[in-house]
A and B are shown apart, each in its own frame.
Chain A
């Protein structure tokens, strides 16, 4: 099955700076790459995603880049705020429209934004 590697596992940045999280995947057939944010004591929630027909997607301060050749994708948070402190998970999946759909997550990045 798919394997997703996520780095770094811990990231500490100063408020107002940028934070970057990198993920790589193994299955070249994977075509959907979401990012989930989990705040302490909460459940994971989707914050942004990108499909294989795109190379870049931005929602406000969140930017996702996808390099299909290298099988890598990344999340960039610009102008970080203390509220961005959380666990972030990348994930990958292959959606064929069939009945065997599953999402494989990376191990997570714990982001801390310091004032």
Chain B
């Protein structure tokens, strides 16, 4: 079974604070993705990466940074968290057949 683990699973952050969401995969997949899920918006792509030490902007990258220090790890960084970034964040890795394996999600509340 493919394994993608996220941490933290839940976090309350203060507006203007820094938040780091971490993702670890043991699938040996090259591609990793960060999506955010909001009611009425579905899953929107923030950043993705297809190789270590390189990241690409997705469809809604503003306010987010990403880091891929190794094939297994992919982080999403909110340098200055804002209320509008309250959402559930999903990390995923992709196999050669294009199947995405999602982590369990990280629920972020910015107050």
A binding-site residues for B, Cβ under 8 Å: 1, 6, 9, 32, 34, 36, 42-46, 49, 89, 93, 95, 99-108
Contacts and interface: CB of A to CB of B under 8 A. Distances in A.
A99 B99 CA distance: 16
Interface class of chain B by DSSP: strand
Contacts of A108: 42-43
Contact of B42 (A100, A101, A105): A105
B102 interface: yes
A106 B102 CA distance: 16
A101 B45 contact: no
A1 B44 CA distance: 12
Contacts of A49: 98-99
Interface class of chain A by DSSP: loop
Given A34-B98, A102-B33, 10 more contacts: A1-B59, A9-B40, A43-B102, A44-B100, A45-B102, A49-B98, A89-B43, A104-B45, A105-B44, A106-B42
Interface string B70-111: 000000000000000000001000100011101111000000
A58 B56 CA distance: 35
Nearest to A51: B98
B94 A105 contact: no
A107 B56 contact: no
A103 B36 CA distance: 13
A49 to B, nearest CB: 7
A34 B102 contact: no
Given A6-B42, A107-B42, A102 B90 contact: no
Nearest to A95: B98
B58 A102 contact: yes
Given A1-B59, A107-B41, A101 B50 contact: yes
